[in-house]
Amino acid sequence: MDPDQVVAELVGMGFELSDITNAIEVVGPSIDAAIDYLLDDSRRDTASASTSNSRFTSHAGPLGKRGPNSTSRAAGKIRQSSINEFVESAGRPKRSKTMNKLDLSQSEVLQRDTKDRNVHPPIEDSDLRIATEKAVLSSYSKDEDVGPDWQKKVENLLQKHFGFSLLKDFQKEALEAWLSHRDCLVLAATGSGKSLCFQIPALLTGKVVIVISPLISLMHDQCLKLANHGVSACFLGSGQTDRSVEQKAMSGMYSIIYVCPETILRLIKPLRSLAESRGIALFAIDEVHCVSKWGHDFRPDYRRLSILRENFSMDTMKSLKFNVPIMALTATATTRVREDILQSLHMSKATQIVLTSFFRPNLRFSVKHSKTSSLASYKEDLHELISSYSRKGKSHRKDKLMSTNLENSESSDNASNGYMDEYNGTNEVNVDDVEGDDVSESDNEVCSPGRYGLGSLKDRQLSVEYLEDECDIVQDVDDLDVSCGEFSGKLPLKGYSGFLLPKTPNNPEERAKLQHEPLEDGPTIIYVPTRKETLSISKFLSRFGIKAAAYNAKLPKSHLRQVHKEFHENTLQVIVATIAFGMGIDKLNVRRIIHYGWPQSLEAYYQEAGRAGRDGKVAECVLYANLSRTPTLLPSQRSEEQTKQAYKMLSDCFRYGMNTSCCRAKTLVEYFGEDFLLEKCLLCDICIKGPPERQNLKAEAMIFLQVVATHCRNFADISYGGYEGRLGERPNIKALVSRIREQYQQFSTSDLLWWRGLARLLEVKGFVREGDDLTHVQIKYPEVTERGRQFLSVKTEEPFHVYPEADMLLSVKSPKSFSSFAAWGKGWADPEIRHQRLQRKRTWKSPRKRKSRKPQPDCSTVRGRLTAKLSKK
């Protein structure tokens, strides 16, 4: 491969250019070898951190033990995995020559499963198979009535297959709906046990359940678990390499068939035959929020699933005694999304809505301010995480090591990148933070300049292509075809009864005790917006002896599988992932979910956070976000309508972060349309710290509304002109705040951040609204409403009490360094002063820039050629 191509691919995976060039210089321009070298680098860091800082030279796999084909990236790329691999990797006997098509574990599973219903395992010889299939098909019980004692039967089946015997109430409700042949929409919290609702019908009848699922990794995971529980299941779609599986599935050889929406559309005909032969008990549509444009994971193919109702109803299939019921399931759907689901899937008017609480009583939610953009932020924010894992290991030595490493990393970062000084004192609010309005909202925080040592990054900052290539956006079922199963096959089922049990106490005294309860052992998932951050943060953590691994969709599949495996085997402490570490991951003991950067919606946030504490024990969900900067939408192909909706969802998420007075858990569950029964959760940062002091901001509110009213009127008359804006240009909040600073001496040094917060509060009260047609994350072109005008005109002494929001508090905590903002601001209007300032700014920056810039690229080396190429862009 051409070295430039190798470098370009590795850059796409998120590796840093300097590391790539080092790797290529050591191992040559081979992509596989370079990946191994680069991933080993973190390993070496971990090893060196845990052994007296000496460099670890052997090339063990990225996580210590790569699979046999780990060096063959090509193999990982071309050949997609099949369930057999994962059954094998679960420690079960491998397929032997003497065995038939299925490996031992699967045939065992089939035997066990089929013994219950006189179904024979599929066998290799085709004639014999056809004969067997005929016998099998004729032996299916066509009796739909499972009888009045179905609960008893279910309990027995649960005990036999899963090791517990009690159905949860919502599961019972969903099954009752199915038994009466009704459609059903199940809305239940993450980890509550929705899968069981559609797995039981397959065990209870001789019929097949078809499950539509969005990701191959999810299907793998569920098939593997079912295999471990003695239930025959398979998945179909592009990830299925064994072509015979589809044929077997369509002839009724599996009790549960997982299929992606894209595939089911072409399988309608064979499925109709299956409905007539073995029978289809149910269509289950998992993660059904993907149906809706108003949801956070819209997948157009999900919308076409209305085809199921059209093709499997009594009207279209005369042999059916009732429509094949549809069961739709999700953990994150707002009221609007629910309506959209019912409509789009043509679910019946009598659809049973099974709604359980979205509340996760054992999760401690919190939001913290961080620039989340540099090594300095990592140090500040991840310090506690590192200490917690170090304490669990050899605490004293590691703590010592940690401080040494912190020092080392500081000096080396300063020397190599020269950007540390820019971010020292991470939590300081800098005027640059709030100047974002001048650039479009697509000026995304995910690509703050100077972070990754890529010289030309700043130039590429506004490029949508670049951003698209930086973030993992799951658009297709194949995007993440790696398994996330419990590979050990030892599911901790005995005595475990879901996250609601062991019960998290409900009474306030008991709950208060959980506020500071130390977390038990367990892994952490850190969600970051970009691929580069998966690598930079995992590398950073490895330096302190943490067993951390990066996970993003562009990394080799072999690496991702290994990460899944080690995660489920509890040998990894931290996974740093993009959203690619996806839906439905069911690992019980995840102790922390850290979001490092703004999520795109509360739906996505809550679903990802919901992976914590599924064992019912206390777990933490921390969102680190830059509270002084408006988050921006990650690029994706959206229609105008979808863009508006995406902004709305991002805005809701931003407001969640800005909130300082309402319990986080309450905000989250109410977002999903649920009435929160406890007054507060008592575990989140707001419940623990309490809200800030309420302030009477009457004077400020009046001034703001007055200025907005005046300038909006001027704008409407097109007579407005003067200061910063051009004639007829609608004044944005930044311009309006400049006017306030100029006109009101007492606010001459006030901060835009603070006024933005006030504008949001006034918007919530209905005194101002967004005047622009485009949607923004927060109010940008305020306009006074009728209510606002009334507020302005009524001269009463009534106070205007509000809780200041996070950005307001932040701006007060770190006031501006210059003494008179107005004077400083006015200076920019003077061409001479502006010229001088810009000159000065250039001279400030130039020494550091010059220091970090390479003299002249040497085009005889890979590094030189690439540097020259990138600097041309």
Cβ-closest residue to Mg ion? 584
Contacting range for ligand ATP; rule: CB under 6 A; set: 134-142, 149-157, 166-174, 234-242: 166-174
How is residue 99 annotated by DSSP?
A: S
Query: 76 or 584, CB closer to Mg ion?
Result: 584
Minimum distance from residue 133 beta carbon to ligand ATP (Å): 31
Which tokens is 425 given? Answer: 């004192």
552 binds, among Mg ion, ligand ATP, none (CB under 5 to 8 A by kind): none
Residues of span 592-611 touching ligand ATP by CB under 6 A:
610
Q: 834 is written with which tokens? A: 């502006």
3-state secondary structure at position 282: strand
Neighbours of 269 (CB within 10 A): 10
498 binds ligand ATP (CB under 6 A): yes
- Interatomic CA distance for residues 701 and 705, integer angstroms: 6
Smallest separation, CB 7 to ligand ATP (Å): 38
CB atoms within 10 A of CB 721: 12
- As a whole number of angstroms, the distance between CA 286 and CA 707 comes to 51
Q: For Mg ion, which is the closer residue by CB, 21 or 192?
A: 192
> Distance from CA of residue 318 to its chain's centroid?
44
- The stretch near ligand ATP (CB under 6 A) out of 63-71, 185-193, 308-316, 438-446 is 185-193
Structural tokens at position 760: 């949001």
Q: How far is the CB of 286 from Mg ion (least distance, A)?
A: 6
Residue 61's beta-bridge partner residues?
A: 64
* 195 vs 630, beta carbon nearer ligand ATP: 195
**Binding ligand ATP by CB under 6 A: which of 71, 105, 190, 351?**
190
Measured between alpha carbons, how far is 326 from 185 in angstroms, rounded to an integer? 8
- Quick one: tokens of 129? 């198979």
Residue in 43, 66, 161, 168 binding ligand ATP, rule: CB under 6 A: 168
Nearest approach, Cβ of 109 to ligand ATP (angstroms)? Answer: 17
CA-closest candidate to residue 132, choices 248, 219, 229: 248
In the complex, minimum distance from the CB of residue 233 to Mg ion, in angstroms, rounded to a whole number = 14
Provide the binding-site residues for Mg ion, judged by CB under 5 A: 194, 584
d(CA 865, CA 859): 5
Contact partner, 190, from ligand ATP, Mg ion, none, Cβ < 5-8 Å per class = ligand ATP
For the bound state, the minimum distance from the C-beta of residue 394 to ligand ATP, rounded and expressed in Å, comes to 33
Question: Does 500 help bind ligand ATP (rule: CB under 6 A)?
Answer: no
Q: Per CB under 6 A, which region of 91-99, 149-157, 189-197, 740-748 contacts ligand ATP?
A: 189-197
Contacting residue, 15, 37, 86, 164, with ligand ATP by CB under 6 A: 164
CB neighbour list of residue 308: distance below 8 Å, 6 or more residues apart: 264, 283, 324, 326, 345
Min separation Cβ 607 and ligand ATP, Å: 7
Strands (E) in 291-431, as ranges, are 326-330, 352-355, 363-369
Q: Per residue in 236-263, is it b (16+ CB within 10 Å) or e — as a string?
A: bbebbeeeebbebbbbbbbbbbbbbbbb
Q: How many residues bind ligand ATP (CB under 6 A)?
A: 20
x/- site string to ligand ATP, residues 106 to 145, per CB under 6 A?
----------------------------------------
Is residue 191 near ligand ATP by the rule CB under 6 A?
yes
Applying CB under 6 A, which of residues 167, 275, 376, 712 lies at the interface with ligand ATP? Answer: 167
Tell me the C-alpha distance between 668 and 653, whole Å. 10
- The smaller minimum CB distance to ligand ATP, of residues 356 and 538, is found at 356
Q: From CA 264, how far away is CA 310, in angstroms rounded?
A: 14
Binding to ligand ATP (CB under 6 A): which residues in 735-754? none
315-374 residues near ligand ATP, rule: CB under 6 A? 331
Closest to 263 in 3D by CA, of 300, 232, 291, 301? 301
The listed partner (Mg ion, ligand ATP, none) that binds 192, CB under 5 to 8 Å by sort, is: ligand ATP
Interface pattern 567-586 for ligand ATP (x via CB under 6 A): -----------------x-x
Q: Which of ligand ATP, Mg ion, none does residue 485 bind (CB under 5 to 8 Å by kind)? A: none
| Nearest CB to ligand ATP, comparing residues 401 and 668 | 668
Q: CA-based angle 795:797:781, to the nearest 5?
A: 60
Q: Taking the chain, what is the end-to-end CA distance rounded to the nearest angstrom?
A: 22
248 contact partners, CB below 8 Å, separation of at least 6 = 122, 234, 254
Q: Which is nearer to ligand ATP, 410 or 479 (CB)?
A: 479
Name the closest residue to ligand ATP (Cβ): 193
Shortest separation between residue 471's beta carbon and ligand ATP, angstroms = 22
193 binds, among ligand ATP, Mg ion, none (CB under 5 to 8 A by kind): ligand ATP
Question: Does 419 contact ligand ATP by CB under 6 A?
Answer: no
Q: Choose which of 497, 714, 785, 820 interacts with ligand ATP (CB under 6 A).
A: 497
The Cβ of residue 125 has, within 10 Å, a number of other Cβ atoms equal to: 11
- Which CB sits closer to Mg ion, 361 or 584? 584
Q: How far is the CB of 194 from ligand ATP (least distance, A)?
A: 4
Judged by beta carbon, residue 129 or residue 194, the one nearer ligand ATP is 194
Q: Is 230 an interacting residue with respect to ligand ATP (CB under 6 A)? A: no
Residues 6+ apart with CB under 8 A from 623: 365, 366, 367, 368, 594, 595, 598, 599, 605, 657
With binding defined as CB under 6 A, does residue 192 bind ligand ATP? yes
Measured from the Cβ of residue 605, the count of other Cβ atoms closer than 10 Å reads: 27
* CA proximity to 331, closest of 363, 287, 293: 287
Neighbours of 678 (CB within 10 A): 17
The closest alpha carbon to 546, from 39, 46, 40, belongs to 46
Q: Are 100 and 123 in contact (CB under 8 A)?
A: yes
Q: Is 73 in the site for ligand ATP (CB under 6 A)?
A: no
- Only segment of 51-59, 190-198, 407-415, 713-721 that touches ligand ATP (CB under 6 A): 190-198
Nearer Cβ to ligand ATP (284/708): 284
Out of 121, 122, 193, 556, which residue is the one contacting ligand ATP (CB under 6 A)?
193
Q: Which of 384, 520 has the CB closer to ligand ATP?
A: 520
**Which of 67, 57, 85, 77 shows the shortest CA–CA distance to 13?**
77
Which CB sits closer to Mg ion, 221 or 751? 221
Stretch near ligand ATP under the rule CB under 6 A, chosen from 184-192, 439-447, 678-686, 703-711: 184-192
* Closer residue to ligand ATP in complex, CB, 76/584: 584
Among 194, 296, 559, 760, contact with ligand ATP (rule: CB under 6 A): 194
Angle at 288 between CA 285 and CA 290, to 5 degrees: 130
Q: Under a CB-based contact definition with an 8 Å cutoff, are residues 858 and 25 in contact?
A: no
Nearer to Mg ion (CB atom), residue 483 or residue 748: 483
Q: Reduced to 3 states, what is the DSSP secondary structure of residue 592? A: strand
Binding of ligand ATP at residue 213 (CB under 6 A)? Answer: no
Residue 282 half-sphere exposure, CB side, CA atoms within 13 Å?
35
Nearest to 217 by CA among 247, 239, 202, 243: 239
Instruction: For residue 33, state whether it binds ligand ATP (rule: CB under 6 A).
Output: no
Decide whether 192 or 240 has the Cβ nearer to ligand ATP: 192
Interaction site with ligand ATP (CB under 6 A) = 162, 164, 166-168, 171, 188, 190-196, 331, 497-498, 584, 586, 610
